[in-house]
Structure 1
Amino acid sequence: MSTDAATTCPFTLAVSSEMVFLDLPVTERIRRISDLGFEVEIWDWTRHDIDALAALRDEGVVFSSMTGYTSGRLSDPEGADELLAGAEKSVPVAQRLGIPRLNLHGTGLDSDGLPVRPEVAVTGPMWLTARHTLARVAELGERAGVTFVLENLNTAVDHPGVPFATAADCLALVRDVDSPHLRLMLDLYHAQIGEGNLIELCRQALPWVGEIQVADVPGRCEPGTGEISYPAVARALAAMGYTGTVGLEAFASGASEAALARFREAFTP
């Protein structure tokens, strides 16, 4: 990372190793992302060689977030117990890799991002169960010294059938639990598809945000490839006083290194 970029970017920038440099083995992807000056996100830790990732950490790689459960869901007691059990297994992995944020969704997702058990409608009892489940998750995070982050998704394109998917739903749950160990993973790609009004959404959500993720719409590629004015979003976030992590969770429209450069440029207001 250039000195100019490091001194003028007000955010910590991270990149998902699951979506760029796809022609390389995952350890080489992670090393390449880190060498370019970014923190690194992973998804399902059960699909990774944790010893290899720990060795990369020893080399100086900084990991930003990972999936914080293995299965389960928020909306019913059986699924909640399953989710908590997976979260408890995830914590030691996060601690070993120095990962501060563990990501959650409304329900378990398969390899295509589809819910293992779709929910057509969310009832009042499901909301109460989800709130209680997340309070238990926050207590686990407090004991372990990590933060769980609940990510909003879109149901129109990528994740049909996921309950508690919108940013508004996730924010309501996080705000109601009101714990520093449960925050919002605000994904602006998903929010643009489902809700829009991104700058105002950021403003309303900011006190509960643990991280912001980005990709452009349509196509889920890097900033500058679609309809979202990410430089304007970046300027607004800086003006709001946000100095946390912005993660690129996007495919590269061409060369991965060029995509990461465009991401950095968009978020160096």
Structure 2
Amino acid sequence: MVFLDLPLEERVRRISGAGFDVELWDTRKHNVERLSAAGAVFSSMTGYSAGSVIDPDTSQNVIRTARALIPTALELGVSRMVVHPAELIDGQAARPAFRATGQLWLTGLRTLEKLGELGAEHGIVITLENLNTIVDHPGIPLARAKDTLALVEAVGHPNVKMMLDLYHAQIGEGNLIDLLRRALPHIGEIQVADVPGRCEPGTGEINYPAVARALEQAGYTGTVGMEAWAESDSALALDRFREAFTVRRPAPAV
């Protein structure tokens, strides 16, 4: 989502050269060998290419395509593969639905259990990302943070965690610091972008330095990923991201 004027391999080098790990969306259209040769640390990638975790008619496609993507994840050294509560096509629900049912819930639970077994087999954590249904992803049941958290809690598998996206949570629910504290034992990664606009921290209404302090106080030691567009300059966006999540302690009194 940054350095968009450059080929992907060069984007990877720029991000890595700035001291960050790299996260990828759909890897199927890219040369994995060339990505691997870029010298970056890849921390996550999209973990399926078809189907819906919660749809009984298509959930097997999630498992099938996740299994097909495992070799790519292993070649890149990816530790987390990301899935969503529904199949997305260009960011939109493939089969919009506006009511959650018990069948959808149970299908999501069983699909995530199978994905957890697959992840454990290969040393990869499957993360379920919350989405907002107001601005970006209408028509996706069980997409809000409270629902994805409940699903991950119900699965109770060490290789199934929550990808807590605070951009989506701010639009759909707010109360971010309390949400972080409640979800902490089940978080596999936190993703951030500001609201509105989905650009880097410091460009909108979310007080990300306060979020960073709350994470430190809660003892969070995991990954924070910037899933955000650059408002203007990509290098500046990375600097703003780093600044927002650099917690500075006050100097001791003399």
Same fold (TM over 0.5): yes
1:10 equivalent in structure 2: none
Give per-residue Cα distances to partners, 1:20-52, cap 9 Å, x unaligned.
101111111110000000000000111221111
CA distance in 2, matches of 1:77, 1:20: 36
> Which amino acid counterpart does residue 75 of structure 1 have in structure 2?
I
Please give the secondary structure, in 2, of the residue aligned with 1:238: helix
Once the two structures are superposed, the pairs formed by residues 126-145 of structure 1 within 5 Å of their partners are: 126-145=104-123
- Contact 2:99–2:141 (CA under 8 A) maintained in structure 1: yes
Verify: 1:246 aligned to 2:210, yes or no.
Answer: no
2:4 alignment partner AA = L
Question: Which residue matches 1:20?
Answer: 2
Matched with 1:50 is: 32
1:64 is matched with 43
| Bigger share in helix | 1
Aligned pairs, number: 247
Alpha-carbon distance in structure 2 between the residues aligned to 1:46 and 1:116: 19
> Match of 2:161, SS?
strand
1:93 aligns with 2:90: no
Whole-angstrom distance in 1 between the partners of 2:141 and 2:32: 30
TM-score by length of 1: 0.90
Which one of 82, 107, 118 corresponds to residue 61 of structure 2? 82
Which residue, 102, 123, 128 being the options, matches 1:150?
128
TM-superposed CA distance for 1:156, in Å, is 0.3
Written as runs of structure 1 = structure 2, the 5 A alignment for 1:19-38 is 19-38=1-20
Between the two structures, name the one with larger relative contact order (CA 8 Å, sep ≥ 6): 1
- In the aligned structure 2, how far is the partner of 1:54 from the partner of 1:31? 11
Alignment-mate amino acid for residue 214 of structure 1: V
Cα shift readout 1:205-235 (whole Å, capped 9, x = no counterpart)? 0000000000000000011110000000000
Give me the TM-score of the superposition, normalised by structure 2.
0.96
Query: Which residue number in structure 2 is paired with residue 6 of structure 1?
Result: none
**Is 1:226 the counterpart of 2:208 in the alignment?**
no
Q: Which runs of 5+ in 2 are unaligned?
A: 248-254
Q: Is the contact between residue 55 and residue 108 of structure 2 (CA under 8 Å) also seen in structure 1?
A: yes
Q: How far has the Cα of 1:92 moved from its partner?
A: 1.2
What is the deviation of 1:149?
0.1
Task: Output the CA distance in 1 between the equivalents of 2:148 and 2:218.
Answer: 21
The runs of at least 4 consecutive aligned structure 1 residues that moved more than 6 Å come to none
SS of structure 2 residue aligned to 1:154: coil
| Identity across the alignment (%) | 58
1:8 aligns with: none
